[in-house]
Structure 1
Amino acid sequence: MDIKTHHKSIRLVEGALLLLFASVLLPSNIKSIAIGLFAVVSGMHFFKSRNSFNFKFFLVNSVVFIVMVITLLYSENVVYGVQRLTMFLSLAIFPLCFSMYSQEDVSYLYRNKEKYLSTYIITVVLFNIIPFMWFYITNYSFEEIIEHFPMAMKLDVGKYGMHAIYLSMHCSIAILFSLYVLPSLSIRWKMIGLIVLDVILFFFLVIYAKKGSIIALTTVAFLFVIFQRKKLTIRPYLFALIGLLILVVAIPRTRNKFLEFKKIEVVGKGAATSTNIRYTIYRVAKDVILESPILGYGVGDYRSVLSDKYRDLGIPVLQEGRFNAHNQFLSFLIIGGAVALLAFLATLIINFIFAVRFNNELLILLIIFYGILMLTDNILEKEAGVVYFALFFNFLAARSLFALPDQD
């Protein structure tokens, strides 16, 4: 393949990848087309470039999906299992695509990472601020929109609808990405613009008031400051982190959420707060897991097994809400037992080791961020969560795999 043709081919990959980083603004049906386009363009580039397929990368990063496919063999509800596997498909598509690139391809794509990260930051801000302004102008007072915006984003925006858990996750990741974009900016107005975008993102983070995202963001922000300990930039980041903590404590909306930790009880004995609901779910999930700890119940039956347990125990709040495990690690245990959980942990641990070895700071923080978030939510079981986890994870993991030199 000549240089001109290769350059044109990889530029098509770059364009498709850029569209994915901007896909927060796309409705769910178009988002699937964007993923398909990326897969097709990656495949075309693979065959044109005559690259070698990296089986190691594909196997390491898709093993949990492979295990879930195997659990379909002992699932009673095969139809539902296939539906669930379709939702999890990003866990196989993105490892497949990035396995088809050469070291030169990955190096080219990663050199432009600030462009992808900036695109994601801007689109997340637009995704939040456009409907906020629309609802404020047409339906609500400022006090009302602050109160009702999370529910409006879930129910009143059609195919753009998204639960506050995922909205909060996107805002937090965008703020994390901005920490790595800011040092690359040399023009003053761009730096100020990015800081303004961060303020907007934090504003929405407060509105959604999701404890998991706030804890995860605070943790990785603290680690980021530690990573900067030998650089001159540590002081402004440290002040920003302290300011973030002060605001979380001072603002009643977020402070009251964290006060739930003061008294954690089983639903029925205590109030049906989000913390108490999760605590009750975990107790139920533990009993379910212990009945089939090695292989789980299969991807087709894991939700119904949990719902049946809610009914048997007579917990109306959980039964009516049809709550999932609200913990991704517990969910994998219910789907495929210890086998599925170990497969997923192996993916995270192997990539974390390579990230540390090759100083891939952003991947280290991203794994920690998602790891914390997965303790309280099944973020891989909705399109808004699994697509972006798989995209960001594999994009950043490819850099470690090919041992690219530190470019931060």
Structure 2
Amino acid sequence: MFYKHDDNLVLTIFWNSLYIAFLLLPLGINLPTPFLAISIILGLINILKSGKKFDLDNKIILLFPLYFIIMSFSLFYTDNISDGLNILQRSLSLFLFPLIFLFVKEDASTVRKLFDFLLLGLVISFFINFSISIYNSASIIKGGFSFEISMDDLTAFIDILTHGWNYFVGDEFSKLINPSYLSLYILLVLSYYLKNSLDTRLRTFIVVLLFLYLFLLASIAAYVILVIMSILLTFNIKDKSRKHTMFIMLLLGLIVFLNNPRVFDFYSKVKDFGNIIEYDNSTSEKARLLSWDASIKLIKEAPLLGYGIGDANDILIKKYKELRYTYNYENKYNAHNQFLQTFLQTGVIGFGVLVTIFILLAIHMKRSRNEFSVFLILFISLIFESMLVRFNGIVFFSIVIPLLLKKRSILSSRIIRNVSV
């Protein structure tokens, strides 16, 4: 299952370190860091050993180092240098991994193992989160039996059970990392597995488990992506009877997912978006809309260079206070949209580079509905979250997108020999 290169020990350890890092990504922020550091060091050693020019066919991935340089330049006009340097440090992989991949040729099977290890990490994280939720909910119910209810007090008992259920939905179900990042990992793994038929019990079990995980994480963005991805894959089916069956399953799946209690909570709160009185009684989805509103107002005030990577969040938090977005202000939320976040940090220049990366990615992955669904997962994820602010998002995007942008996609069936250039 691990990688082995007969002639290059550096590349062998490089890929195996990445595999272990992807296994640990769903399990926390700190666990994969040492293995990512090892892979970066060995990748740089491989560049020095090769002594050759990089592959010009893949020069478009240099947009990532350019994006990092633009972020670094914004330190010259930011006041909060400390926060800016922290973000820059977390973003260093955006500069290093694309450069490393310019000097490494890989075959599709080698890179696809990243998804296999990520899948294993997701399965492990599901059972860890499930165990934690069982323990927490059982504690509430046990406490209810002991102190809060009697045999005649059925209403209170149901209320206790409801509070126990809350540990199985949303943020409470993901104690290891942010649910948005877990949802992104799950969707990408699903896009890989759903392109093949569910011809084994193990494959079917994995897909069902991942769908259950998505349901419990209760990410609205993930639900939107899943619907679009399902429609694309359904249209890709040539057999009409099977296509009709898949549409029925899609409809039934929508009914199940829309009955998630967090989705109904989203409906009830977002409808009062324009009511200022309700701003201090918000949900994460409504808070996201308020973050977008405040971010757009700030962008209009400084469209050219933005506010610098150190000051962008500070300015945004002040804007929340000014607009009386109490919930956002108290929780110090970022823009909850990477394109808006980049615009706030680096202005139209950094925003232009980020958009260009995704335009090129869309062009590169338009060859099949499966590949395009992967693009949509990545693109829509950045619309709903500032993915390039936290370590889990930065590292993941700095590895996966450059590999997808290379001349031969990792989703392609074409094989390249494993040699360093």
Length-normalised TM-score, structure 2: 0.80
Deviation at 1:284, TM superposition (A): 1.8
Q: 1:65 is aligned with what amino acid?
A: F
Structure 1: gaps spanning 5 or more residues: none
Contact 2:218 2:260 in 1 (8 A): no
Contact 1:266 1:279 in 2 (8 A): no
Using a 3 Å threshold, how does the CA distance of structure 1 residues 42 and 225 change in structure 2: closer, same or farther? farther
Residue 335 of structure 2 aligns to a residue whose secondary structure is coil
Contact 1:206 1:253 in 2 (8 A): no
In 2, Cα distance between equivalents of 1:53 and 1:362: 29
Q: Determine the structure 2 residue equivalent to 1:90.
A: 93
In 1, Cα distance between equivalents of 2:273 and 2:221: 16
Equivalent residue in structure 1 for 2:234, among 222, 225, 228: 225
Corresponding pairs, count: 387
Structure 2: gaps spanning 5 or more residues: 142-160, 416-421
1:364-396 CA distance string (max 9 Å, x none): 322211222222221221122222222221222
In 2, Cα distance between equivalents of 1:205 and 1:24: 17
Using a 3 Å threshold, how does the CA distance of structure 1 residues 35 and 307 change in structure 2: closer, same or farther? same
| Pairing 1:5-404 to 2, within 5 Å after superposition | 6=7, 8-54=9-55, 56-101=59-104, 105-106=105-106, 108=107, 110-137=108-135, 140=138, 144=163, 146-149=165-168, 150-152=170-172, 161-180=176-195, 182-183=196-197, 188=199, 191-229=200-238, 238=247, 240-258=249-267, 260=269, 262-269=271-278, 271-356=281-366, 359=367, 363-400=371-408
Aligned-residue identity in percent:
21
Using a 3 Å threshold, how does the CA distance of structure 1 residues 223 and 404 change in structure 2: closer, same or farther? closer
Contact 2:27 2:177 in 1 (8 A): no
In 1, Cα distance between equivalents of 2:250 and 2:110: 27
Give the aligned CA root-mean-square deviation in angstroms: 3.2
Contact 1:6 1:49 in 2 (8 A): no
Contact 1:153 1:162 in 2 (8 A): no
Whichever of the two has the greater Rg, that structure is 2
1:157-203 CA distance string (max 9 Å, x none): 5xxx32232233333333223224x35x8xx5xx3212212222222
In 1, Cα distance between equivalents of 2:239 and 2:98: 34
Q: 1:194 is aligned with what amino acid?
A: R
In 2, Cα distance between equivalents of 1:360 and 1:14: 27
Higher mean Cα deviation, 297-306 or 4-13? 4-13
In 2, Cα distance between equivalents of 1:53 and 1:308: 45
In 1, Cα distance between equivalents of 2:410 and 2:321: 50
Residue 32 of structure 2 aligns to a residue whose secondary structure is helix
Deviation at 1:337, TM superposition (A): 1.1
Using a 3 Å threshold, how does the CA distance of structure 1 residues 122 and 266 change in structure 2: closer, same or farther? farther
Q: 1:373 is aligned with what amino acid?
A: S
Task: Give the number of the structure whose residues are more often helix, by fraction.
Answer: 1
Residue 20 of structure 1 aligns to a residue whose secondary structure is helix
Residue 380 of structure 1 aligns to a residue whose secondary structure is coil
Deviation at 1:51, TM superposition (A): 4.3
1:196-217 CA distance string (max 9 Å, x none): 1222222222222111111012
